[in-house]
Amino acid sequence: MGKDLVPPSGGDDNIHPVDLKAALEERYLAYALSTIMHRALPDVRDGLKPVHRRIIHAMSEMGIRPNSAFKKCARIVGDVIGKFHPHGDQSVYDALVRLAQDFSQRYPIVDGQGNFGNIDGDGAAAYRYTEARMTDVAALLLEGIGEDAVDFRATYNEEDEEPVVLPGAFPNLLANGASGIAVGMATSIPPHNAHELCDAALHLIKHPDATVEKLVEFIPGPDLPTGGVIIESRENILDAYKTGRGGFRVRAKWETEDLGRGGYQIVITEIPFQVQKSRLIEKIAELLIARKLPLLEDVRDESAEDVRIVLVPKNRTVDATLLMESLFRLSDLESRLPLNMNVLSLGKVPKVMALNEVLSEWLAHRKDVLVRRSRHRLAAIDRRLEILGGLLIAYLNLDEVIRIIREEDEPKQVMMARWSLTDNQAEAILNMRLRNLRKLEEFEIRKEHDDLSKEKSEIEGLLASDDKQWQTVAWEIGEVKKKYAKATEIGRRRTQFADAPDADIEAIQQAMIEKEPVTIVISQKGWIRALKGHMSDTSALTFKEGDGPKLAFPAQTTDKLLLLTTGGKAYTLGADKLPGGRGHGEPIRIMVDMENDQDILTAFVHDPSRKLLLVSTGGNGFIVAESEMIANTRKGKQIMNVSMPDEAKLAVPVTGDHVAVVGENRKLLAFPLSQVPEMSRGKGVRLQRYKDGGVVDVKCFALADGLSWSDTAGRAFTKVGEELREWLADRATVGRTVPKGFPRSGKFGG
């Protein structure tokens, strides 16, 4: 009953030692090549992968032409997997569906009837419900397949034959694009306009050495089924077509609709290629809920047949361009289409090709197809001329032919001997029906003979002349161009070109943040938090044990904060990214990479128009623009070069035309601001000279207004004009003892 599980003995002689590494390498390479050649990469000549080629060929074999009736997709899929494609039915059906989707294919190859999915990302109905037939594009791809235009090879089970490549009268690779992932390589080609491709091909026939620069004049860029706007620069597009690698930035097409009384709404009519509309709207809604789009009030999908996504701004004062720019940055309303023209050259060699190489190989294939079809037609004409010669003899000797057929045992041999007929001629006479005798008129036979002889001489002339062959190829391409001209509905260019508006990046980033007032609080030990609202009194705030207040200042959530350390480094923090005021905040050292031996010197709201005078303990200083202090990383930006024991001590806003410096030795020096250099980084120059000690305080002032300070009691002092003369000197001098009434602390603020 059961199987004998004991292995047979005596089989040791058939065991061969195999190097595992070599065996694995061999098998992996075989798998990789199989994937590259027979699955993932399209052929440069017809732009099809094997599965698509098999679908079209199966439909052709079933007689499902553009003008024939629709047939169930189940029948087509069954034929494909039964005869040509030993893969899953679902994968074949998915490929068939994509060929029929007008939002996936620029020029659909299959005409579908039923639910073939939609731009929202919904799948097609099961293949038992849907029907399909060829489109004119598929008919063009097949044109001449029965005329020995291409080679055929045995199918996977060697029961049938399939074409190695299709004749490809349509520039399908670039017109419909392709995508695929192989082993160690991939391909990604966006769709293009057929009219433009034909123009470029015709130019290439006349000028075979045409550069990519010239061809891009005819093919400015992709033409996507879903439209959109390409905002890639001309240089980048040219470079992509030259190298075969690159990409194109595509944006949704939008316009504003006036609602009256100053109100408006934004309507998106076209979305980027291969973006699911429903997922796109979900993403925008998620951003809206997360409060990352403060300029946007609502998003609605009002699409029917056409795309119509409505964006409602927060209020009528919102700038539409700014709102859209913020959406382009955060959502798939802007996407990047990759270009990787990695295709099979001559159906054998995977290669990344430039634009001119792709078109040249397609043209070479079209010429080869023309020559093969012409030779096939020539052979057919020769066969027919031979038969016509026999029929003419039969007509002229009809009575004798009838007598031989009636009386002779071997009429074929007798006729061949009597009139020197060939085997084919004799067979044609014998197989001729009686009803054809009345039509068998000498005039008709001679007319057909003359017509065919004339056609034969034309074909022979074509085969003998390279120029005539290219002229014929050009005429065929011209016919395709007429059929898919830009004047037609299917041929019109859908994707436009534009330059991205020069929107202020700062403004866009701010537009993404909801503007709210906050109070920034920094403790002595370097903990930071942002309390809601502007607090005038921060004395009630609590801190960790052993910690206390250091800095507190008002800001907005849209502001950038600059932090300056004693080591001369500047760090940038977004006010919206700071922890709230419920706890004690978070240590600044967690947010940025601060050295342990450094401390927070000061922090303030960034003002791009402001300049600061940075001063070290040792009395060196320089002016730096705040715009130069912005650090884009956690590591910060080194602004002032100091080495221990020296450290950054003061950061004073630059105003007026003079600087006053007070040292620990209670010497005051005032000198023109012009003597201090402006730098983006450095040690600075000596501001005041000391034997020992260092700087206590620095102040910028206008000489005309005088130098003012206040003491601990709050009394204000001002020295103007001549009163300041004794302290006015050049930079790097010692200065004079501070005037009477100057605070003991040595600070201008008391």
666 and 573 in one domain? Answer: no
476 and 526 in one domain? Answer: no
| CB contact burial 37-63 (16+ within 10 A = b; e otherwise) | beebbbbbbbbbbbbbbbbbbbbbeee
50 and 145 in one domain? Answer: yes
583 and 612 in one domain? Answer: no
Query: Using alpha carbons only, what angle is made at residue 720 by residues 717 and 722, rounded to the nearest 5 degrees?
Result: 130
441 and 427 in one domain? Answer: yes
Q: Find the CATH number of the domain harbouring 273.
A: 3.30.1360.40
Q: Are 56 and 145 in contact (CB under 8 A)?
A: no
Q: How far apart, in whole angstroms, are the C-alpha atoms of residue 581 and residue 214?
A: 63
Q: How far apart are the first and last CA of the chain?
A: 108
| Tally: H helices and E strands in the chain | 19, 35
Q: Find the CATH number of the domain harbouring 673.
A: 2.120.10.90
* 406 occurs within a structural domain: yes
Pick out the chain residues at pLDDT < 50.
1
Q: Are 560 and 572 in contact (CB under 8 A)?
A: yes
* 680 occurs within a structural domain: yes
Q: How far apart, in whole angstroms, are the C-alpha atoms of residue 569 and residue 639?
A: 6
* 599 occurs within a structural domain: yes
Domain end point (choices 278, 313, 332): 332
Beta strands 229-230 and 496-497 are parallel
260 and 150 in one domain? Answer: no
739 and 614 in one domain? Answer: yes
Q: What are phi and psi of 465, to 5 degrees?
A: -115, 120
Domain end point (choices 141, 167, 193): 167
383 and 285 in one domain? Answer: no
> From the candidates 28, 31, 129, 156, which is the catalytic residue?
129
Q: How far apart, in whole angstroms, are the C-alpha atoms of residue 277 and residue 264?
A: 23
| Digit-coded pLDDT (tens) for 218-259 | 999 999 999 999 998 899 999 999 999 999 999 999 999 888
Read off the amino acid at residue 721.
G
Q: Find the CATH number of the domain harbouring 439.
A: 1.10.268.10
* Number of other CB atoms surrounding residue 743 within 10 Å: 20
647 and 563 in one domain? Answer: no
* Number of other CB atoms surrounding residue 720 within 10 Å: 12
Q: Give the pLDDT confidence score for residue 6 in this predicted structure.
A: 66
* 192 occurs within a structural domain: no
584 and 611 in one domain? Answer: no
* Number of other CB atoms surrounding residue 746 within 10 Å: 17
CA 39 to chain centre: 23
H or E element that contains 565: strand 560-565
| CB contact burial 348-382 (16+ within 10 A = b; e otherwise) | eebbebbbbbbbbbbbebbbbbbebbbeebbeebe
At 434 the three-state DSSP class reads: helix
Q: Give the pLDDT confidence score for residue 230 in this predicted structure.
A: 93
- The residue segments making up the domain with residue 412 are 359-484
Residues 6+ apart with CB under 8 A from 285: 299
* Number of other CB atoms surrounding residue 616 within 10 Å: 24
Bridge partners (DSSP) listed for residue 451: none
- The runs of H, that is alpha helices, within 397-441 are 398-407, 411-419, 423-431
- The runs of H, that is alpha helices, within 101-171 are 136-142
**Is 395 noted as a catalytic residue in this protein?**
no
* 312 occurs within a structural domain: yes
Residues 6+ apart with CB under 8 A from 674: 657
At 558 the three-state DSSP class reads: coil
Residues 6+ apart with CB under 8 A from 607: 626
* 133 occurs within a structural domain: yes
407 and 281 in one domain? Answer: no
Domain count, the chain: 5
683 and 616 in one domain? Answer: yes
Beta strands 560-565 and 334-340 are unpaired
Q: Give the global pTM.
A: 0.72
Q: How far apart, in whole angstroms, are the C-alpha atoms of residue 607 and residue 555?
A: 12
* 209 occurs within a structural domain: no
Domain end point (choices 146, 167, 188): 167
Q: Find the CATH number of the domain harbouring 135.
A: 3.90.199.10
* 191 occurs within a structural domain: no
